[in-house]
Amino acid sequence: MDFTIRSEMLIGQEAVKKLASSSVALFGLGGVGGAALEALARAGIGTFHLIDPDSFNASNLNRQLLATRDTLGQKKVDVARARVLAINPNAKVYTYPIFYLPHQDTSLDFHDFDFVVDAIDTVSAKVDIIRRCRGLGIPMVSCMGCGNRMDPSKLSLTDLFKTEGDPLSKVLRQKCRGLGINHLRVVYSTEPPMTPLFHIESDSPTRRDVPGSLPFVPPAAGFLLAKEAVCVLLKSPQNPAE
């Protein structure tokens, strides 16, 4: 019995075959991206392109599905590849341990992607991914801020231009308008960001502060991203309320 048999009961054999023939790129494999990867691997996606420059550290243990005591210090792309293949040995997994930035020379070819999941924090990189996907007609979904929140029920899968009260969404809307883009599927939280009780220094050149985070919000966002990817790849109808 194939591991996708329970999925086949709901979406049918042809849909399962479609997912197996699909290629998905995931930018970011942290609390959000790691959960999205887990769901997509179990959904039977056949080819993955995984982009993340980081290695796991102890602060990841509270929310990142791929982070365990055994994986601390290991590259996230390597751990993610092993995880996918442990679920589906027939999957093809390409890894890119790079910090994605606009206009850099990389081995990434967006023409290889049927769908893109954006689970990174850097605004300039998010905008460039959106720009490139739009130019090539590649469907995608982007995650907004999940830090400093504690209620996963406040997450919403909607259009960027319907979001309210989220600082990252506001910045991204402005950037997208400048590119003539007026539609983008996103996952965002309607919960106002909390103020952390204390601050810790960031070792990232692109992030000034480190947000607080809880075990249930980023993974829930990741599962919503995976849901969007599967629905678009299968051309399933979206939520009519959105």
CATH, domain 5-233, list 3.40.50.720, 3.90.1150.10, 3.40.640.10, 2.60.40.10? 3.40.50.720
Could you read off the pLDDT of 108-149 as tens digits, one per residue?
Answer: 999 999 999 999 999 999 999 999 999 999 999 999 999 999
In the beta sheet, which residues pair with residue 117? 26, 141
Could you read off the pLDDT of 62-87 as tens digits, one per residue?
Answer: 999 999 999 999 999 999 999 999 99
**Cα 190 to Cα 183: distance, rounded to the nearest angstrom:** 19
Locate 20 and state its tokens: 């197996």
User: How is the chain split into domains, by residue range?
Assistant: 5-233
In the beta sheet, which residues pair with residue 157? 187
Could you read off the pLDDT of 196-209 as tens digits, one per residue?
Answer: 999 887 765 555 67
Locate 47 and state its tokens: 């080819």
**Strand order from edge to edge, sheet including 155-159:** 92-96, 47-51, 23-27, 115-118, 140-143, 185-189, 155-159
